[in-house]
Chains A and B, each alone.
Chain A
């Protein structure tokens, strides 16, 4: 990759405060917005985690994957099958779905990272994802192209307490808490020595290897972690939308986290989250403008890429007078 920009993780304290504020705002959503927007807000949280996991690979480690949708779908379908067909309670099913995503990523990563990198690796992930999409679409037990529907909102039993997440906006609150925890975990990983090693790998893999950092192993580990987080996010879609369909594994869903990341700014931790919010806002505002959506979305994206290569956060950083580290030219 010829990206030499450093990943601006920002001081940890600032990011924890931002997270707390964002979560507080998120929890306020049901009291101010209509039910359609609450539903969309839940999806935005999930997509934000999707984008942030993608950026663990792209922005932090310099690994470009065109196939993250396969982990998202794996998590969603695993959660659906475990809760609906096998009757598992939700929390264990959610954890299992994340584990499944991680295992799949470890498998794909072990095989693909060994043989390729850069654009070739990206295309290989695309091929794997499309394979997954085809497998899902052809499996009767997974509902083929109709998917699995009628998924229930769960009821959590924690010891003596019973929490019905199907009631009112309870599951939205759960999403906020769950996604907040996942975002915190991602931020934590970035701040560790492992995270810093990944930045070194991205900057100059040869030198990193020379310095004693096992490049391929690091990439495999982060790929596995990203797959796990992506699957965990995808698993929340199952009870939220109450349906999972093969579109979740389609390549256009793989482009979504890339869109969020580039729109928000890949060099910044919050970039993908901001991108997810902005893109959803654009789609919501244009929802009644029937028919021109393709053209409008395309032109908008084009404008962003050509005029704002650092994303929105890159633009803001330039306005607030210079950046720490190198942004995009």
Chain B
């Protein structure tokens, strides 16, 4: 990791601070408070980036209507990172150089990892909105990067905990995981949860089979599906995502694979796969960053209404909730410290408890990871226009599922 050169940091810190300096003096004269939004708005992750953008815009509109932050109106500076580190770095540097020091929006893991040294060197803050890498709070930890949403280890372990509670007799588990970092890590986390919660809650030891590695970026999974069939597992954890997951489920359908499992738990597809497959969807549990219908608090209801008015979409997927929460986190931190300067915002984000669409969240000071309850839903195919329906909704306590902070160190997981 590069050590920030102190003189260098101060030089740029001074430059950034001068445009958002002492409250009360040049605060109101600075024009709108700009927040940078760097997220994929083209390329394969464009679909997710659109939710991030809309969620952030709704948040900004709501805040401005209520008087802004410390009396100052807020404006978003939106940049497309194309899910590509070089484009993200150019955008981040451009915004930082122009005095915009507070950024949100990271979705692609590679982008988030690329931003770590830059935000540190150029004195900025970045709050991610759904990137899956666990490294940003572990071996790649930096005080300038925050995750205001689900931690990958809380999500996976909460899912394992739910499985132990609801299906104590299903102990023979396998995984369908994409053959890359994200796939391997999510499986490792789920296994860690199985190994802790099955003995604890179901009083049984889980049998963990070798997961099936799904080739990445191809369009034929039949050989992997055949290998999965041979395993004869009872429980299945799927972390393939997006179009790959849909293709896999379509091809697995011919083999009747998913029907052979007693329970299927999906890592993070929200409603993406359900919307794509409709009646073809195999019934499954899935994790959501934010499930609107399950969150009956005023902030959530107002968010859903405003989102509908803005985008004609009545079901904002979880990433919209994450960007909304990120904007509100910045608002709380700025108001708490009465300053939008990087150093103050970092100090005030750490340890912050703030209100979001999923209820109150707490930002751990040690590793910049938020603690929030994990939302899980059970979706089944339905004979409706929509094609699917949510038949169960569970909120799993985040505090019990999340692993202790380990900033600067690799994630430590139990293995079978």
Per the CB under 8 Å rule, do A and B touch in the complex? yes
Check A242–B118 contact: CB distance below 8 A: yes
Known: A149-B113, A150-B113, A168-B8. A35 touches B96 (CB 8 A): yes
A290 CB to closest chain B CB, in angstroms? 4
Check B181–A241 contact: CB distance below 8 A: no
Check B90–A39 contact: CB distance below 8 A: yes
Bound-state CA distance A222–B140 (Å) is 41
Report if B382 contacts A (CB, 8 A): no
Check B2–A288 contact: CB distance below 8 A: no
Report if A243 contacts B (CB, 8 A): yes
| B-chain residues with CB within 8 Å of residue A245 when the two chains form the complex | 85, 110
| A-chain residues with CB within 8 Å of residue B93 when the two chains form the complex | 34-36, 38-39
Report if B180 contacts A (CB, 8 A): yes
Give chain A interface residues in 139-159, CB to chain B under 8 Å.
Answer: 143-147, 149-153
Check B110–A147 contact: CB distance below 8 A: yes
Check A40–B90 contact: CB distance below 8 A: yes
Give chain A interface residues in 144-194, CB to chain B under 8 Å.
Answer: 144-147, 149-153, 164, 166-168
Check A243–B80 contact: CB distance below 8 A: no
Which residue from A149, A153, A293 sits with its C-beta under 8 Å from B114? A149
B395 CB to closest chain A CB, in angstroms? 31
Which residue from B2, B109, B180 sits with its C-beta under 8 Å from A150? B2
Known: A146-B109, A166-B8. A34 touches B97 (CB 8 A): yes
Chain A residue total in the interface (Cβ 8 A): 35
| A-chain residues with CB within 8 Å of residue B90 when the two chains form the complex | 36-37, 39-40, 43
Check A290–B110 contact: CB distance below 8 A: no
A280 CB to closest chain B CB, in angstroms? 10
A174 CB to closest chain B CB, in angstroms? 16
Known: A35-B122, A147-B110, A291-B46. A167 touches B94 (CB 8 A): no
Check A288–B79 contact: CB distance below 8 A: yes
A149 CB to closest chain B CB, in angstroms? 4
Which residue from B42, B85, B135 sits with its C-beta under 8 Å from A294? B42
Report if B402 contacts A (CB, 8 A): no
Check A241–B85 contact: CB distance below 8 A: yes
Check A153–B2 contact: CB distance below 8 A: yes
| A-chain residues with CB within 8 Å of residue B252 when the two chains form the complex | none
Check B114–A36 contact: CB distance below 8 A: no
A72 CB to closest chain B CB, in angstroms? 13
Check B41–A146 contact: CB distance below 8 A: no
Bound-state CA distance A329–B20 (Å) is 58
| A-chain residues with CB within 8 Å of residue B41 when the two chains form the complex | 290-291
Which residue from B85, B97, B179, B180 sits with its C-beta under 8 Å from A243? B85
Residues of B within 8 A of A (CB): 1-2, 5, 7-8, 11, 41-42, 46, 78-80, 84-87, 89-98, 109-110, 113-114, 116-118, 121-122, 133, 135, 140, 179-181, 216
Instruction: Pull 29 A–B residue pairs with CB atoms less than 8 Å apart, ordered by A.
Output: A34-B93, A34-B94, A34-B98, A35-B96, A35-B122, A36-B90, A36-B97, A43-B86, A145-B180, A146-B110, A146-B113, A147-B110, A149-B110, A149-B114, A149-B117, A152-B117, A153-B2, A167-B7, A242-B114, A243-B85, A243-B110, A247-B84, A287-B79, A287-B91, A288-B78, A288-B79, A288-B80, A291-B41, A294-B42
Q: Assuming A34-B97, A241-B89, what are 13 further A-B pairs, CB within 8 angstroms?
A: A36-B97, A38-B93, A146-B113, A146-B135, A146-B181, A150-B2, A152-B2, A153-B2, A168-B11, A242-B2, A243-B85, A243-B113, A291-B41
